[in-house]
Amino acid sequence: MAAPLHDMFSFCVDPDTVAASVDVRFIDNIKGKGLFAKRNIKKGESVFVERPLVSAQFLWNSLYKYIACEHCLRALETAEENARRLSGIPELSLPHPELCRVRPERHQACPQCQVMYCSSECRQAASDLYHRVLCSGPSQEDPDHPVNKLKDAWRSMHYPPETSSIMLMARMVAVVKQAKDKGHWKKLFSHFCSRAANEEEEIAHKLLGEQFKGQLALLHNLFKAALYDEDLNRWFAPEGFLSLFALVGTNGQGIGTSSLSQWVHACDALELPTQQREHLDSFINRLYKDIEKATGDFLNCEGSGLFLLQSSCNHSCVPNAEASFPNNNFLLQLNALCDINPGEEICISYLDCCQRDRSRHSRHKILRENYLFVCSCLKCITQMEELDVTSEEEEEEEEGEAEGETEGDELEDEMTDV
């Protein structure tokens, strides 16, 4: 069933505007629900802005000192601090520092466990919603604390690049445990697809494969030890745990924030004389080259969230909308990539730009293994006559992945595609 709109719109910044713009409809038993335009939406227009039910920073991202608000994932480093760390140049000074929007004087720590928030508002929101359950107090750095043992196990199984986090599941549990109306939150989470297999297409989710059986059993035991609650006993049963795992793996939307990126966008918007503009652009280009040399492409504070309305968007290899995070926090903005007519389905891509440029066979392989469906968008239909083989470059990449999976008979596969 499609989720009631009043549930979804309660998480949008302007629910009245959203209600006039889009509609959630049930399509069929295979695609489930979809999001449809109710009016003309112009290219570049914001369709809606939505906050997640829950979100969490990736654990490796946090360990590598990408400092973000524990609640909204806003980057907490100033643009200059961020640039110095990423470039490895401690004496670096950014021009136009006034364009940085980070306000360290507003940052607050939890008085018990010292995790950081961008503001008193975020600290209070986290405390009211889930943090009282998850707060480890003085045991924040204790490796034997049950939550820390769960985090360490996840990191040992899921190396970067991360695409999900066990802490999304932990926050789902914590939200329900703290809620006065537990049924309301259970109902909201039930709107997300959580199937571990697509029986019609005989597809099973790759993260639940036989090679991960031992790792999943360990995570299940640690998850139960850290968070068990009688009201949620279904989630802690073996099958319920796998459903939760499939839920965050299938529905988790990546979130990226960066104080440096915001500063660069603000610089781009400056009206400057030609010589000053060229000098500033040259400085920024050099900075990104220094960062690429020192850090590579791993630039942002990154995490994942569960968004009710965004999760209703189906996939297309030629999407007409895309999600972004222009506020440098967890607020998702869906923008139209082209004009969208009333009654037209609003689709996003579950693939990144590089993946969308790969062959139909390769795209289908990624979508089958991670999202349990066979794509039938216009691009895939027009490429149906293509042979089901990848390009030479893709075959080499897949061969390399296969070799990596078989190295060392004593090691299980890593959950790098969760």
Q: What are the φ and ψ backbone dihedral angles of 188, each rounded to 5 degrees?
A: -60, -45
Q: Does 415 score more than 80 pLDDT? A: no
> Two tokens at 163?
């695409």
Please check the confidence at residue 404 and state whether its pLDDT lies above 50: no
Identify the pLDDT of residue 370.
Answer: 78
| pLDDT computed for residue 176 by the predictor | 97
What pLDDT sits at residue 31? 77
Confidence at residue 391, expressed as pLDDT on a 0 to 100 scale: 52
Task: Identify the pLDDT of residue 4.
Answer: 56
85 CB neighbour count, 10 Å cutoff: 20
Q: Is the peptide bond before 319 cis (omega within 30 degrees of 0)?
A: no
For residue 3, report the phi and psi dihedrals to the nearest 5 degrees: -70, 145
Beta-sheet pairing, 46-50 with 54-57: unpaired
Structure tokens at 352: 């990144």
Q: What is the pLDDT of residue 405?
A: 40
Would you place residue 199 in the very low, low, confident or very high pLDDT band (cuts 50, 70, 90)? very low
Q: What is the pLDDT of residues 158-169, one digit of tens each?
A: 888 887 889 999
Decide: helix, strand or coil at residue 390: coil
Is the model's pLDDT at 398 over the cut of 70?
Answer: no
323 vs 124, 275, 327, 367, CA distance in Å?
27, 35, 12, 18
φ, ψ for residue 358, nearest 5 deg? -80, 175
Please tell me the predicted confidence (pLDDT) of residue 5. 56
pTM: 0.86
pLDDT of 417 > 90? The answer is no
Predicted confidence (pLDDT) at residue 296 exceeds the cutoff of 80: yes
Average pLDDT over residues 134-162: 92
Best-predicted range by mean pLDDT among 122-126, 364-368, 406-410? 122-126
Q: In sequence order, what are the residues at sequence separation of 6 or more whose Cβ sits closer than 8 angstroms to the Cβ of residue 140? A: 113, 114, 115
pLDDT at 201: 47
Residues 126-131: what's their mean pLDDT? 98
Residue 48: strand, helix, or coil: strand
Q: How do residues 202-233 score in pLDDT, each as one tens digit?
A: 444 455 556 678 888 999 999 999 999 999 99
Out of 332-336, 347-351, 384-388, least confident range: 384-388
